Structure 1
């Protein structure tokens, strides 16, 4: 069982020291969240919100995922990095290929890419990418990225992306795992058919197991049930070694945790994160790993 944390809603300047604390405490990874902007005129409805509006305020910071991952990689020794999730089709294919490959090389292969289609049309339009074809383009982007990361002369000719023969360096020394986020049938099928894993959100136990089972069904449908596959999500249950052992046995490979949830961080001192991180590592992680 892997233990991951996240960067969402943290003060940007706190993220690097907290990443070092997680690394030292024995956590496995940290995920970076992704948004480009918050438009004054936001018309795109936010999923799962009764008002259609995001639960965060316009001035919430969303540091660039790959700048952040590069900085965290330089500040840590063993922590892995991924996304929850990266809105890859809002960016040009070559930009995504270049950023992820560079992060993989600089981190010593400690990077995976977790992609999703997102929900904010305004971000796509400001980035010059088509919102309506984002799902189809992501389906093509996944194999295209793998091809562009092979090294040497590479090219891609598809319906949505056409890349003439070129070299794009540095290229990853080993394949970069690609995971998919999203709960729609299309997203789950994308994960099962094209990806090395799936990244979910936060769920009660029964809902989490429902997604695990559905992904298993789809992987069997696509003949990929024997391929390695990660499932990373958060559980809306009181944390305990037993909970995470049951999750492991059910097929969940990683859990996203916020050890400092409920802690008093009002002092503004980043050291306030240390005690809950170390307590979680001692009372949960050490017992799960035996």
Structure 2
């Protein structure tokens, strides 16, 4: 099982120098991947409950660096680790622009980008970027259509309810073909069906083991029903501390269920030194 690490990006770690230091040292420790998330703002009076046990948005989100810009810097500073988004809120921008950005990132990194996409959970953030909250599922499906169109052949065209791309030449393509892996987040049946039908995997979260196993089994079964190879899907699992029980025990318990685990220490570590020490302890214990 592969082991990854969330890059310092928010709260006391909202410092590019911290992300670059952790990226270089984590690669040297033997981590397989580095991941960024995506938050735009911290509402003073949020309209939506945060997706956690207590429903409270972490105050550390008041400072949050842009995920794709940060990945570009880290891509230059590293040479081996995979670089992923878990997740980028793809619906906040036109998919044609996202396609160009991810293409550039994949070229800069030498083909190391994993594009994890989420639809978000905050109506306040959607209001801030001027994107409708309603119809997110349809918007996500068309976003994926446009991304695939831009990454397929040199001649690109798309016509849909939300976007129209006139027949155009777009010869800049990602290093990874036919596209960088597209991993989708979600915890509802419609999301699992979308993953099975058209994505390269599910961005799993730290669920109780029986629920995690059942969800992955369901996605695999649906993928087979769509005529796809279920063994070709990926299942990276993000752990935002704290988790039930001991971290190392939980990581070991999901081995064979998911193919990768990556851990975010940003809500528990107080400095870059402590962040790296926790990372070193984790990889030593697991490996």
The question of whether the paired residues in 2 share the 8 Å contact of 1:114 and 1:181 is answered with yes
Distance 2:88 2:265 in 1: 23
CA shift, 1:28, in A, is 0.9
Structure 1: 4+ residue segments shifted above 6 A: 259-262
Are residues 1:203 and 2:207 paired? yes
Superposed CA RMSD in Å reads 2.5
**Structure 2 residue ranges without an equivalent (≥5):** none
CA shift, 1:210, in A, is 2.3
Structure 1 counterpart of 2:135, from 133, 146, 166? 133
Name the residue aligned to 2:277. Answer: 275
The question of whether the paired residues in 2 share the 8 Å contact of 1:20 and 1:76 is answered with yes
Structure 1 residues 90-136: Cα deviation after superposition (integer angstroms, max 9, x where no partner): 21111211111111110011001111111112222322222212111
Name the residue aligned to 2:263. Answer: 257
Stretch moving more, 120-129 or 74-83:
120-129
Name the residue aligned to 1:94. Answer: 96
Aligned residues: 277
SS, match of residue 155 in structure 1: strand
The question of whether the paired residues in 1 share the 8 Å contact of 2:111 and 2:175 is answered with yes
Equivalent runs, 1:49-88 vs 2, <5 Å: 50=54, 54-57=56-59, 60-88=62-90
**Structure 1 residue ranges without an equivalent (≥5):** 286-290
Are residues 1:247 and 2:251 paired? no
Structure 1 counterpart of 2:40, from 25, 36, 49? 36
SS, match of residue 203 in structure 1: coil
Change in CA separation of 1:64 and 1:230 when aligned onto 2, cut-off 3 Å: same
CA shift, 1:21, in A, is 1.4
Change in CA separation of 1:41 and 1:283 when aligned onto 2, cut-off 3 Å: closer
Stretch moving more, 149-158 or 93-102:
149-158
Change in CA separation of 1:42 and 1:246 when aligned onto 2, cut-off 3 Å: closer
Stretch moving more, 107-116 or 162-171:
162-171
CA shift, 1:259, in A, is 7.0
Structure 1 counterpart of 2:146, from 144, 147, 151? 144
Change in CA separation of 1:137 and 1:261 when aligned onto 2, cut-off 3 Å: closer
The question of whether the paired residues in 2 share the 8 Å contact of 1:114 and 1:178 is answered with yes
CA shift, 1:170, in A, is 3.1
SS, match of residue 113 in structure 2: coil
The question of whether the paired residues in 2 share the 8 Å contact of 1:33 and 1:83 is answered with yes
SS, match of residue 232 in structure 2: coil
CA shift, 1:77, in A, is 1.3
Distance 2:82 2:200 in 1: 15
Q: TM-score, length-normalised on structure 1? A: 0.85
Distance 1:22 1:151 in 2: 36
CA shift, 1:151, in A, is 4.9
Distance 1:135 1:234 in 2: 22
Change in CA separation of 1:127 and 1:176 when aligned onto 2, cut-off 3 Å: same
CA shift, 1:247, in A, is 3.0
Are residues 1:238 and 2:242 paired? no
Q: TM-score, length-normalised on structure 2? A: 0.86
CA shift, 1:79, in A, is 1.2
Structure 1 residues 257-284: Cα deviation after superposition (integer angstroms, max 9, x where no partner): 247986xx54x4x333333333333331
CA shift, 1:254, in A, is 0.8
Distance 1:87 1:275 in 2: 30
CA shift, 1:12, in A, is 2.0
